[in-house]
Amino acid sequence: MSSPLHTQPLAALRRQLLSRDISPADLLHSVEASIAQHDPAIGAYLQRDFPTALAEAHRADLSLPLGGIPIGIKDIINVKGQPLTCGSKMLAGKFISPYDATVITRLRAAGAIPFGKLNMDEFAMGSSTENSALQITRNPWDLTRVPGGSSGGSAAAVASGTAVATLGTDTGGSIRQPASFCGIVGLKPSYGRVSRYGCTAYASSLDQIGPMTRSVADAALLLQAIAGPDPADSTCRRDPVPDFSAALQGDIRGLRIGLPKEYFGDGIDPAVRAAVDRAITLLEAAGAELRPLSLPHSSSAIAAYYIIATAEASANLARFDGIRYGHRCDQPENLRDLYDRSRAEGFGPEVKRRIILGTYVLSSGYYDAYYRKAQKVRHLIRQDFAQAFAQVDVLLGPTCPTPAFKFGAHTSDPLQMYLADIYTIAANLAGLCGLSLPCGTTPPTAEAPALPIGLQWLAPPLGEATLLRAAAAAEQLLA
Amino acid sequence: MPQEDHINVRYVAGLARISLTPEEEAAYASQLDRILHYVAQLDALDLSSVPEHSLEAHGCDFTRPDLARPPQPLDDALHNAPRRVGDQFAVPKVVE
DSSP H or E stretch at residue A186: strand A185-188
Distance from CA of B55 to the nearest CA of A (A): 6
State the pLDDT at residue B60.
Answer: 62
Closest-approach residue (CA) in chain B for A314? B16
State the pLDDT at residue A249.
Answer: 82
pLDDT digits (tens, 9 = 90+) for A272-309: 999 999 999 999 999 999 999 999 999 999 999 999 99
Catalytic one among A34, A151, A174, A342? A174
Question: Is residue A278 a contact partner of residue A440, using CB atoms and an 8 Å limit?
Answer: yes
Distance from CA of B71 to the nearest CA of A (A): 12
How far apart, in whole angstroms, are the C-alpha atoms of residue A158 and residue A149? Answer: 14
Listed in sequence order, the residues at least 6 apart from A222 whose beta carbon sits closer than 8 Å to its beta carbon are: A10, A66, A71, A165, A167, A211, A213
Inform me whether the pLDDT recorded for B9 exceeds 60. Answer: yes
Instruction: Say whether A131 sits in a helix, a strand or coil.
Output: coil
Inform me whether the pLDDT recorded for A223 exceeds 60. Answer: yes
A43-57, A143-157, B51-65: the lowest-pLDDT one = B51-65
**B89/A323 Cβ within 8 A:** yes
Residues forming a β-bridge with A289 = A256
Domains contained in chain A, number: 1
* Inside any domain, residue A20: yes
Inform me whether the pLDDT recorded for B78 exceeds 60. Answer: yes
* Inside any domain, residue A51: yes
| C-alpha distance from residue B38 to each of A297, B23, B43 (Å) | 15, 23, 10
Report the 10 Å Cβ neighbour count for A469: 26
Pairing of strands B88-89, A289-293: unpaired
Inform me whether the pLDDT recorded for B56 exceeds 60. Answer: no
How far apart, in whole angstroms, are the C-alpha atoms of residue A185 and residue A353? Answer: 31
Inform me whether the pLDDT recorded for B53 exceeds 80. Answer: no
Q: In the 8-state DSSP scheme, what is residue B36?
A: H
- In sign, the C-alpha dihedral spanning A472, A70, A154, A199 is positive
The ipTM, to two decimals, is 0.93
How far apart, in whole angstroms, are the C-alpha atoms of residue B76 and residue A10? Answer: 35
A150 among known catalytic residues: yes
State the pLDDT at residue B66.
Answer: 86
**B42/A303 Cβ within 8 A:** yes
Parent domain of A207:
5-247
How far apart, in whole angstroms, are the C-alpha atoms of residue A259 and residue A105? Answer: 38
Residues of chain A in contact with residue B20, where contact means CB-CB under 8 angstroms, are 344, 352
- Nearest by CB to B63, from A96, A234, A332: name it: A234
**A96/B80 Cβ within 8 A:** yes
Residues of chain A in contact with residue B24, where contact means CB-CB under 8 angstroms, are 349, 352
Closest-approach residue (CA) in chain A for B74? A98
User: Average pLDDT, whole number, for chain A?
Assistant: 96
How far apart, in whole angstroms, are the C-alpha atoms of residue B74 and residue B95? Answer: 26
pLDDT digits (tens, 9 = 90+) for A388-435: 999 999 999 999 999 999 999 998 888 888 888 999 999 999 999 999
A117 among known catalytic residues: no
State the pLDDT at residue B5.
Answer: 59
pLDDT above 90 as % of chain B: 62
- In sign, the C-alpha dihedral spanning A264, A266, A268, A273 is positive
* Inside any domain, residue B76: no
pLDDT digits (tens, 9 = 90+) for A445-468: 998 999 999 999 999 999 999 999
State the pLDDT at residue A44.
Answer: 98
Distance from CA of B69 to the nearest CA of A (A): 11
Domains contained in chain B, number: 1
- In sign, the C-alpha dihedral spanning A445, A447, A451, A454 is negative
Question: Is residue B7 a contact partner of residue B33, using CB atoms and an 8 Å limit?
Answer: yes
Please give the distance of CA A145 from its chain centroid, rounded to a whole number.
18
State the pLDDT at residue A384.
Answer: 98
A304 touches chain B (CB under 8 A): yes
State the pLDDT at residue B85.
Answer: 95
* Inside any domain, residue A377: no
* A286, amino acid identity: A
Catalytic one among A150, A180, A298, A342? A150
Q: In the 8-state DSSP scheme, what is residue A368?
A: I
**A340/B17 Cβ within 8 A:** yes
Tell me the pLDDT band of B3, cut-offs 50, 70 and 90: low
Tally of residues, chain A? 479
Tell me the pLDDT band of B1, cut-offs 50, 70 and 90: low
State the pLDDT at residue B61.
Answer: 65
How far apart, in whole angstroms, are the C-alpha atoms of residue A143 and residue A141? Answer: 7
Tell me the pLDDT band of B59, cut-offs 50, 70 and 90: low
**A323/B18 Cβ within 8 A:** no
State the pLDDT at residue A463.
Answer: 98
A235 touches chain B (CB under 8 A): yes
Distance from CA of B34 to the nearest CA of A (A): 8
**A95/B80 Cβ within 8 A:** yes
Closest-approach residue (CA) in chain B for A302? B39
Which residue, A474, A472, A467, A469, is CA-closest to A193?
Answer: A467
* Inside any domain, residue A375: no
pLDDT digits (tens, 9 = 90+) for B29-51: 999 999 999 999 999 999 999 98
* Inside any domain, residue A412: no
Residues of chain A in contact with residue B35, where contact means CB-CB under 8 angstroms, are 306, 357, 414-415, 418
Parent domain of B35:
9-44
**A369/B2 Cβ within 8 A:** yes
* A424, amino acid identity: T
A233-242, A274-283, A312-321: the lowest-pLDDT one = A233-242
State the pLDDT at residue A49.
Answer: 96
A99 touches chain B (CB under 8 A): yes
A241 touches chain B (CB under 8 A): no
pLDDT digits (tens, 9 = 90+) for A90-122: 999 999 999 999 999 999 999 999 999 999 999
A34 among known catalytic residues: no
**B72/A99 Cβ within 8 A:** yes
CATH number of the domain bearing residue A181: 3.90.1300.10
Distance from CA of A373 to the nearest CA of B (A): 8
What are the backbone angles phi and psi of residue A112, rounded to the nearest 5°?
Answer: -75, 160
**A96/B47 Cβ within 8 A:** no
Residues forming a β-bridge with A406 = A145
A360 touches chain B (CB under 8 A): yes
Q: Please, is B63 exposed, middle or buried when counting C-beta atoms within 10 Å of its C-beta (0-12, 13-18, 19+)?
A: exposed
State the pLDDT at residue B55.
Answer: 57
State the pLDDT at residue B4.
Answer: 46
- Report the C-alpha dihedral over residues B72, B75, B77, B78, rounded to 10 degrees: 170
How would you classify residue A388: left for phi > 0, otherwise alpha for psi between -120 and 50, otherwise beta?
alpha
Residues 155-184 of A with CB under 8 A from B: none
Inform me whether the pLDDT recorded for A1 exceeds 50. Answer: no
- Nearest by CB to B92, from A307, A332, A356: name it: A332
Residues 381-410 of A with CB under 8 A from B: 382
CATH number of the domain bearing residue B13: 1.10.20
A332 touches chain B (CB under 8 A): yes
Inform me whether the pLDDT recorded for A250 exceeds 90. Answer: no
